[in-house]
Amino acid sequence: MELIVSDVAVARGGIPVLEGVNLSVSSGTALVLRGPNGIGKTTLLRTLAGLQPPLQGTVTLPPEGIAYAAHADGLKATLTVTENLHFWASVNGQGGVEEAITRMNLADLRDRRAANLSAGQKRRLGLARLLVSGRAIWLLDEPTVSLDAASVALFAGVVREHLVRGGAAVMATHIDLGIPEAEVLDLSAFRANRHIPAGHGFDEAFA
Amino acid sequence: MSIWEYANPKKFSETAARILPVVAPLSALTLLVGLIWGFFFTPDDYKQGATVKIIYLHVPSAMMAINAWGMMLVTSLVWLIRRHHVSALAARAAAPIGLAFTLIALVTGALWGQPMWGTWWAWDPRLTSFLILALFYLGYIALWQAVENPDTAADLTSVLCIVGSVFALLSRYAVNFWNQGLHQGASLSLDKEENVSDVFWLPLLVCIAGFILLFVSLVLLRTVTEIRLRRLAVIEARERVE
Amino acid sequence: MIALLVRDLRLAIRAGGGFGLGLAFFLLVAVLVPLGVGPEGGLLAKIAPGILWVGALLACLLSLDRIFALDFEDGSLDLLATAPIPLEGVVAIKALAHWLVTGLPLTLAAPLLGVLLNLPLTGHGWLVLSLFLGTPALSVIGAFGAALTVGLKRGGLLLSLLVLPLYVPTLIFGAEVVKRGAAGLSVEAPLLLMSAITLGSAAALPFAAAAALRINLR
How high is the pLDDT of residue A201? 46
Chain A partners (3+ C-beta pairs within 8 A) = B, C
Q: B242 in contact with A at a CB cutoff of 8 Å?
A: yes
Neighbours of B45 (CB within 10 A): 16
Q: C177 in contact with B at a CB cutoff of 8 Å?
A: no
User: Of B203-217, B228-242, C109-123, C140-154, which range is least confident?
Assistant: B228-242
Question: How confident is residue B191, by pLDDT bands cut at 50, 70 and 90?
Answer: very low
Antiparallel, parallel or unpaired: β A168-172 and A15-26: unpaired
Residues of B in contact with C173 (CB under 8 A): 174, 177
Residue bearing the bigger pLDDT, A75 or B46: A75
State the Cα–Cα distance between residues C71 and A84, nearest whole angstrom: 13
How high is the pLDDT of residue A94? 85
Quickly list DSSP for A165-179.
Answer: TT-EEEEE-SS--S-
* Beta sheet of A2-12, edge-to-edge order: A15-26, A2-12, A56-60
Chain A positions touching chain C (beta carbons under 8 Å): 46, 49-53, 64, 66-68, 70-76, 78-79, 83, 86-88, 90-93, 129
The minimum CA-CA distance between B59 and chain C, rounded to whole Å, is 24
* Nearest residue on chain B to A13, alpha-carbon basis: B149
How high is the pLDDT of residue C194? 95
Cβ separation A51–C217 shorter than 8 A: yes
B3 within a domain of the structure (yes/no): no
Of A66, A78, A83, the CB nearest to C82: A66
A195, pLDDT greater than 60: no
How high is the pLDDT of residue B63? 94
How high is the pLDDT of residue B16? 92
B187, pLDDT greater than 60: no
Average pLDDT, chain C: 91
B194, pLDDT greater than 60: no
B42 within a domain of the structure (yes/no): yes
pLDDT tens digit sequence for A172-183: 988 878 888 888
B151, pLDDT greater than 60: yes
The one-letter amino acid code at B10 reads K
Of C144, C165, C193, the CB nearest to B139: C165
B11 within a domain of the structure (yes/no): no
According to the per-residue pLDDT averaged within each range, which of A11-20, C73-82, C90-99 is highest?
Answer: C90-99
A37, pLDDT greater than 90: no
Give the CA dihedral A131, A132, A136, A140, nearest 10 degrees.
Answer: -60
Q: A207 in contact with B at a CB cutoff of 8 Å?
A: yes
Mean pLDDT of C146-172: 91
Residues of B in contact with A206 (CB under 8 A): 9, 85, 227, 230-231, 234
Substitution target from C7, C14, C73 for chain A, most A beta carbons within 10 A: C7
Cβ separation B231–A206 shorter than 8 A: yes
Q: How far is CA A158 from the centre of its chain?
A: 14
Q: For chain B, how many structural domains are there in total?
A: 1
B45, pLDDT greater than 90: no
Cβ separation C11–A88 shorter than 8 A: no
According to the per-residue pLDDT averaged within each range, which of A70-74, B76-80, C4-8 is highest?
Answer: B76-80
Q: What is each CA distance from C171 to A20, B121, B136, B171, C209, in whole angstroms?
A: 54, 21, 16, 10, 21
B114 within a domain of the structure (yes/no): yes
pLDDT tens digit sequence for A126-163: 889 999 988 989 999 988 888 888 889 999 999 999 99
B7 within a domain of the structure (yes/no): no
Mean pLDDT of C53-67: 91
Residues of A in contact with B223 (CB under 8 A): none
How high is the pLDDT of residue B46? 66
Residues of B in contact with C165 (CB under 8 A): 132, 135-136, 139, 164, 167-168, 171
How high is the pLDDT of residue A182? 83
Antiparallel, parallel or unpaired: β A2-12 and A15-26: antiparallel
B135 within a domain of the structure (yes/no): yes
Kind and range of the H or E element at C114?
A: helix C104-116
Residues of C in contact with A91 (CB under 8 A): 3-4, 80, 83-85
The minimum CA-CA distance between A194 and chain B, rounded to whole Å, is 7
How high is the pLDDT of residue A45? 92
pLDDT tens digit sequence for B159-177: 999 999 999 999 988 888 8
Question: How confident is residue A198, by pLDDT bands cut at 50, 70 and 90?
Answer: very low
B188 within a domain of the structure (yes/no): no
pTM: predicted TM-score of the whole model, two decimal places: 0.91
Average pLDDT, chain A: 85
What are the extents of the domains in chain C? 2-217
How high is the pLDDT of residue B160? 96
Find all residues with CB under 8 Å of A105, minimum gap 6, and list them. A124, A151, A154
Of C4, C15, C79, the CB nearest to A68: C79
Cβ separation A83–C74 shorter than 8 A: no
Mean pLDDT of C57-82: 90
Instruction: Name the DSSP letter for residue B139.
Output: H
Mean pLDDT of B12-24: 92
Question: How confident is residue B196, by pLDDT bands cut at 50, 70 and 90?
Answer: low
B62 within a domain of the structure (yes/no): yes
* Beta sheet of A137-141, edge-to-edge order: A66-69, A137-141, A168-172, A30-34, A183-186
Q: A196 in contact with B at a CB cutoff of 8 Å?
A: no
How high is the pLDDT of residue B60? 93
Residue bearing the bigger pLDDT, A48 or C153: A48
A75, pLDDT greater than 50: yes
Question: How confident is residue C145, by pLDDT bands cut at 50, 70 and 90?
Answer: very high
Residue bearing the bigger pLDDT, C20 or B203: B203
Q: What is each CA distance from A138 to A28, A66, A85, in whole angstroms?
A: 11, 6, 17
Mean pLDDT of C154-182: 92
* Nearest residue on chain C to B128, alpha-carbon basis: C168
Range of the domain at B223: 22-180+194-241
How high is the pLDDT of residue B218? 96
The minimum CA-CA distance between B9 and chain A, rounded to whole Å, is 7
Cβ separation A207–B231 shorter than 8 A: yes
User: Of A80-89, B129-138, B187-196, which range is least confident?
Assistant: B187-196
Mean pLDDT of C162-175: 94
Cβ separation B146–C154 shorter than 8 A: yes
A199, pLDDT greater than 70: no
Of A49, A72, A83, the CB nearest to C82: A49
> What ipTM was estimated for this complex?
0.91
Q: Dihedral sign for Cα A93, A94, A95, A97, please.
A: negative
Question: Cβ distance A97 to A133 under 8 Å?
Answer: no
Question: Cβ distance C147 to C141 under 8 Å?
Answer: no
Question: How confident is residue B117, by pLDDT bands cut at 50, 70 and 90?
Answer: confident
Residue bearing the bigger pLDDT, C146 or B38: C146
Q: C40 in contact with A at a CB cutoff of 8 Å?
A: no
Residue bearing the bigger pLDDT, B182 or C176: C176
C195, pLDDT greater than 60: yes
Q: Dihedral sign for Cα A85, C20, C108, B174, please.
A: negative
Of all residues in chain C, what percent carry a pLDDT higher than 90?
68
